[in-house]
Amino acid sequence: MDLLPNGRILVAQNGGNKVAEYDPDGKLLLELDVQQVSMATGLPNGNFLVACHSLGRMMEMDRKGKVLWEYKTQGPFRARGR
């Protein structure tokens, strides 16, 4: 889960293959279909950075689910902050 600056909560639902955004009261505001999603975080521009580790895929998505940028590797990967 990622707590966004506006108080909303972003959840990567691996079993459901979805990225969901909820308001502080738990109301579903947004749901995007993402195959084998493992991580999602909010970006300052309002988009989402989404990872699918088992597919070796990292992408930036807008709020409509459009992939704006994508990086693919051969197999699983691990990302670390510096």
| Rounded Cα–Cα distance for residues 55 and 38 (Å) | 10
Q: What is the mean pLDDT of residues 43-70?
A: 92
The three-state secondary structure class of 42 is: strand
Spell out the domain ranges in the chain. Answer: 2-72
For 2-72, the fitting CATH number among 2.60.40, 2.40.50, 2.40.10, 1.10.287 is 2.40.10
| Rounded Cα–Cα distance for residues 18 and 61 (Å) | 13
CB 47 within 8 A of CB 60: yes
- pLDDT score for 74: 76
pTM for this model (two decimals): 0.83
Q: Any idea which residue has 């308001």 for tokens?
A: 23
The three-state secondary structure class of 55 is: helix
pLDDT tens, residue by residue, 5-55: 999 999 999 888 999 999 999 999 999 999 999 999 999 999 999 998 888
